[in-house]
Structure 1
Amino acid sequence: MKVTKKDLEKSAVELAVVLELDEFQPYIEKGAQHISEHVKIEGFRAGKVPYDILKQKVGEISILEEAAHIAIRKTIDDIFAKELAGRQPVGQPNVEITKLAPGNPLEYKVTISLLPTVALGEYKDLKIKREAVVVTDEDIEKTLKEIIEMRAKETLTDEPAQLGDKLMLNINISLDKVPVEGGQAKDVTVMLGKEYMVPGFDDKVVGIKKDEKREFKLQYPATHHQAHLAGKMVEFEVKATAVYKRELPALDEELAKEMHFKGVDDLKDAIKKNISADRERQADIKSELKMLEAIADKAKFGDIPDTLIAGESDSMMQELERNVVSQGGNFEDYLKHINKTKEELRLDLLPNAVKRIKTALIIREVGIIEKVEVKKEAIDEKLEAYKKMYAQDPEAVKRMAAPEYRRHLENMMFNDEVISKLKKWNYADTGTQSQS
C-alpha cells in the first residue's frame, strides 16, 4: 500500500492511497461474499454464488464498489496512525474513490482536518492574582430587602395604583401607529416605583384603576437593547387587569424563624455565607480564565480548522438555548429581545469559540507534557458516585453505562487535573474579606 501525504490549509491533510491489485484482491472476495449473502440467485444458496455468476447478475462494478468500501474501512485507521504523527483528527474524514476499475489497483483520497499544533510558552510562575472577595453590610441589606419583597402580602384592590403596588397590565406598543413585533403582551407584572420598563413608564400608570385604559408616548433611551426602538418615541396602550396592595413584613425574629433560622443575626450570617460562596465561585472563574488567557498569549497555535470553530460555535449556541429554556424562556423570544437572528448570534459567538478551542488545546498540551493520567479506579469511583446520585433516573443511569459517557468523564477529569496543577503553579495567594 502506497500513501502520499499532502499538507493543506487550516491544519488539514490530504492522503492519496493506492492499494495494488494483489492487496485489493482479498477485499474483492469479501465484497463478493457480502453481496452474495443478500442476492437471491436461483440454484445457489445465499453466500455460495460463484464470482463469475454473481458478476453477471449484479455487475462487476457493484462488487468492486462494495470491496472498496470494505477496504477503506479496514485500512483508514492504520493509515491515520502511521501518517498523522500522533495528531488527532477532527470531525469525519472526506473520502473520495479516485480509481476503481476491473483488474486495477484501488485508489482513494482522504481529506481530514487535524487538531492544530500548539507550541507552549511559559505556563508556570505567572503569578496570577485572584480577586479578593468582599462582602459588605450593604450587600447583606440589599439581599434582606429582596427577601422582604418576595414575602410581601398582596391584596387585590379597586383603589388607584400607588408607588409600591403591583400592577397587572395588558400592553400594546406601536411605532408611528404600526404595532411593534413582539410588543403585545397580556398580564405583564409591573412593580410601581422599580422602573423596570422604559424610564417614565411608572409615572404614566400611577393612579390607574382595574379595567382602566390609558394611552401615552415615551421616548426609548438611545442605548436601549432593541436597536429598532432605541431613541424613538413609542406609543403605548395599556389596560390594568389587576391592582395589588403590597404589605411588606417586618424584619424581625419571627420572620427569621419562619425561614428556619434561629434569628435575624443567623439569617444575616447565612446571607453573608451565600454571597461569599457565590463570589468565590465567580472569582475562581475569572482567575482561571485570566490564567488560561495568559498562557494562550504566550503560546503559538497552528491554523484552527473551520469545522472545529463551527462545531464549537454550535455547541455554545446549544448551551445558550438550554440556559434560556431552563430559566423558563423561549429561545425565539430571546433572539427577538436581543434583535438578532440565529446566524447573527452564531457569528457573534465565533471569537469566543476560538478562545474556547485554544483553551482546550492548552489544557491538552500541558497534560501531555506533564504526563497527566486519570486512573481507571478514579473514573470507576466517579462513575459510581454519579449513578448513585441519579439512581431515581433510569435513563440517566443507562446513558452513563455507554462507553462514550466514560470517555466524556475521563476527559472531564483530565481537564480538572490539569487546571488544578496550573492553579498551583500560577496563583498568588489572596484572601476573602468582609467589610462593615
Structure 2
Amino acid sequence: IELTVELEQSEFTPYTEKALRQLARETKIDGFRPGKAPLEVVKQKVGEMAVLEKAAYLAIDATLPKAIQQELPKETPPVGQPQVDIVKLAPQNPFVYKVTFSVLPKVELGDYKKIKIKPRPVKIDKEEIEHTLKHMQEAAVKEFLVDREVKMGDKVTIDIKMFLDKVPLEGGQSKDTMLVIGNDYIVPGLGKKLLGAKAGETREFSLPYPKDFYQKNLAGKMVDFQIKVKAVYQRELPPLNDEFAKRFGLKNLEDLRRLLKENIKKEKQREADEATEREMLEEVVKQAKIGDIPTVLVEDEAHRLMEEFRLRVESAGGKFEDYLQSIKRSRDQFLLDILPQAVQNIKISLVLRQLILDENIEVQDQEVEDFIKQVSQNQRPGDKTKEDWSDPQKRDQIRFILLNRKAIKKLKESIINSQ
C-alpha cells in the first residue's frame, strides 16, 4: 500500500524551528557556547537544506503513525518496516513524503466447527521406564583411571583419525574423544576393535558405515580408522536396588519406577496434545481463505526458526556451522528448506488472529496481572534475567499470548472429540 502525506508550509514550520534548535545544540560555532548561538547564525553555518532535511525526519516521525492509523482500519495493521521517500522538500513550500508498507492479508475462516479430531492415545512401555533407569544409573557411575587392557564397559580417551579412500576425512579428526566400550555411537563395532588395547597403543582398522547414515558421503562406505588410546577408565555402575531409589528420596525401587512412569506419561501426554493441537490448527488453515502473505513476514519467521534451531544445536553442545556442514547446506539453503514451515506458522497465526476478531475474544487487564504474578513467582530471588513488567511492549506480548491461548481453547472445545 502507498500513502502520500502532505504538510502545508504552516504545519511544517514548527519542525524546521525544532530542527534548527537541535542543530544549534549539536553545532560548534566559534565565539558561542553550545546551543547559545543565534539561530540565524546556526542556519548560515549548516545551510538551509541541512535544516530542512532534519525537519523532514522530525515531521515523518511525528506524523507517520497518525497517517497510517487514519488510512488503515484497525483490523488491517501494517507489517514490517515501512519505506519512506521524500517527494517534495524545498524552502517556503509544503512538505510531501510517500510511505510504502505491507499489510496483513485478508482472512476468511471456513466452517471450522465441522472439523472433528480425536486426541492421540498415550501408551507407556516397560522398556521406556527401564531405559530411563539405565540413564539415571549411567549418571551415577564412578570412574577410575586404570593401567590395564581395555575391557567391555570401560571408558577410554582416544584420538581419532578417519580416512575415506586413503584421504583424511573432513571432520573426521578429533582429539581426547571419550568413548564407552559397548556404546557404539560413532560407528557400530568401533568399541570392540579397541578391546585388549592399552594406553599409548594405536590401532588401525576399517569399518563400514550404516547404509542409512545421515551423512550421505559416508553412508554404506568402508572407512579406515587410526585410533590412539590415551587413557583407560574402569566404570562402576551402582546397582539398581532400593538403596539406589533412596538417592532420590524414595523408599524403594518400585516407587522410583512408578514415579518415572508418571513423569514419562506426562511428557508423552504433552507431546501428544501438542501434535493433536497442531493437526487441528492445520485443518483450520486448510478450510480458511488467506490472501497473499507479505514476503517480509515469511522471511522474518524463517530467520526466527533458524535462530531457534541454532540455539537448540548449541544447547546440546554442538555448533550450528558444523551441523550445516554435515548436511552440506549453507545458511541461505537452510532458510529455503524451512520456508514451507515458516509459511505454515504464519497461516496458523493469521487464522488465530481472525478467530479472535470474529469471536470478540478479549483479555482483561487483571488476566495480564495474574500471568505476570504467576511468572514472577517462578523466578528465583536475584535472578538477573527477571523481566521488567512495567514495559508496555512486554505487557502487549503477554496479552498476545493469552489471546492465542483463548483462541486455541475455543477451537479445541469445538473440534477435539474425546468420545
TM-score (norm 1): 0.87
> Is the 1:31–1:66 Cα contact (8 Å) retained in structure 2?
yes
| Residue in structure 2 matched with residue 434 of structure 1 by the alignment | none
Alignment partner of 1:108: what SS? strand
| Residue in structure 1 matched with residue 64 of structure 2 by the alignment | 76
- Structure 2: runs of 5+ lacking an equivalent: none
* Partner deviation per Cα, 1:267-322 (whole Å, 9 max, x = no partner): 11111101101101101110111011011111122222222111111111221222
2:257 is the alignment partner of 1:268: yes
Query: Which residue of the other structure, out of 245, 249, 254, is the alignment partner of 2:243?
Result: 254
2:191 is the alignment partner of 1:199: no
| Residue in structure 1 matched with residue 78 of structure 2 by the alignment | 89
* Partner deviation per Cα, 1:244-268 (whole Å, 9 max, x = no partner): 3444443322222233221122111
| Residue in structure 2 matched with residue 3 of structure 1 by the alignment | none
Query: Which residue of the other structure, out of 120, 126, 140, is the alignment partner of 1:137?
Result: 126
> Is the 1:167–1:243 Cα contact (8 Å) retained in structure 2?
yes
| Residue in structure 2 matched with residue 348 of structure 1 by the alignment | 337
> Is the 1:227–1:339 Cα contact (8 Å) retained in structure 2?
no
Alpha-carbon separation, structure 2, partners of 1:55 and 1:256: 82
| Residue in structure 1 matched with residue 310 of structure 2 by the alignment | 321
2:159 is the alignment partner of 1:170: yes
| Residue in structure 1 matched with residue 277 of structure 2 by the alignment | 288
Query: Which residue of the other structure, out of 202, 207, 212, is the alignment partner of 1:218?
Result: 207
Higher RCO by CA contacts (8 Å cutoff, separation 6 or greater):
1
> Is the 1:195–1:202 Cα contact (8 Å) retained in structure 2?
yes
Alpha-carbon separation, structure 2, partners of 1:44 and 1:237: 75
Alignment partner of 2:159: what SS? strand
Query: Which residue of the other structure, out of 7, 27, 33, is the alignment partner of 2:15?
Result: 27
* Partner deviation per Cα, 1:164-190 (whole Å, 9 max, x = no partner): 333322111122333223222223222
- Structure 1: runs of 5+ lacking an equivalent: 1-12, 431-436
For residue 97 of structure 1, report the CA deviation from its aligned partner: 0.5
> For residues 395 and 264 of structure 1, do their structure 2 counterparts lie closer, same or farther at Cα, with a shift above 3 Å needed?
closer
Deviates more, 1:30-39 or 1:101-110: 30-39
> Is the 1:64–1:100 Cα contact (8 Å) retained in structure 2?
yes
Alpha-carbon separation, structure 1, partners of 2:9 and 2:245: 85
> Is the 2:89–2:95 Cα contact (8 Å) retained in structure 1?
yes
Alignment partner of 1:396: what SS? coil
Alpha-carbon separation, structure 2, partners of 1:44 and 1:393: 46
> Is the 1:18–1:108 Cα contact (8 Å) retained in structure 2?
yes
> Is the 2:21–2:35 Cα contact (8 Å) retained in structure 1?
no
> For residues 389 and 146 of structure 1, do their structure 2 counterparts lie closer, same or farther at Cα, with a shift above 3 Å needed?
closer
> Is the 1:152–1:247 Cα contact (8 Å) retained in structure 2?
yes
CA RMSD of aligned residues (A): 2.6
> For residues 35 and 140 of structure 1, do their structure 2 counterparts lie closer, same or farther at Cα, with a shift above 3 Å needed?
closer
> For residues 208 and 58 of structure 1, do their structure 2 counterparts lie closer, same or farther at Cα, with a shift above 3 Å needed?
same
> Is the 1:33–1:47 Cα contact (8 Å) retained in structure 2?
no
| Residue in structure 2 matched with residue 112 of structure 1 by the alignment | 101
For residue 79 of structure 1, report the CA deviation from its aligned partner: 1.3
> Is the 1:34–1:47 Cα contact (8 Å) retained in structure 2?
no
Alpha-carbon separation, structure 1, partners of 2:39 and 2:139: 82
Identity of aligned residues (%): 41
Alpha-carbon separation, structure 2, partners of 1:272 and 1:390: 28
For residue 131 of structure 1, report the CA deviation from its aligned partner: 0.6
- The one-letter amino acid paired with 1:70 is L
| Residue in structure 2 matched with residue 99 of structure 1 by the alignment | 88
| Residue in structure 1 matched with residue 3 of structure 2 by the alignment | 15
| Residue in structure 1 matched with residue 55 of structure 2 by the alignment | 67
For residue 238 of structure 1, report the CA deviation from its aligned partner: 0.4
> Is the 1:153–1:246 Cα contact (8 Å) retained in structure 2?
yes
- The one-letter amino acid paired with 1:308 is L
2:58 is the alignment partner of 1:58: no
Deviates more, 1:131-140 or 1:151-160: 151-160
| Residue in structure 2 matched with residue 421 of structure 1 by the alignment | 410
Query: Which residue of the other structure, out of 369, 390, 411, is the alignment partner of 2:379?
Result: 390
For residue 424 of structure 1, report the CA deviation from its aligned partner: 1.5
| Residue in structure 2 matched with residue 433 of structure 1 by the alignment | none
Alpha-carbon separation, structure 2, partners of 1:362 and 1:355: 11
Alignment partner of 1:188: what SS? strand
- The one-letter amino acid paired with 2:417 is A
| Residue in structure 1 matched with residue 298 of structure 2 by the alignment | 309
TM-score (norm 2): 0.90
For residue 38 of structure 1, report the CA deviation from its aligned partner: 4.4
Alpha-carbon separation, structure 1, partners of 2:32 and 2:244: 91
> Is the 1:152–1:246 Cα contact (8 Å) retained in structure 2?
yes
Number of equivalent positions: 417
> Is the 1:133–1:283 Cα contact (8 Å) retained in structure 2?
yes
| Residue in structure 2 matched with residue 237 of structure 1 by the alignment | 226
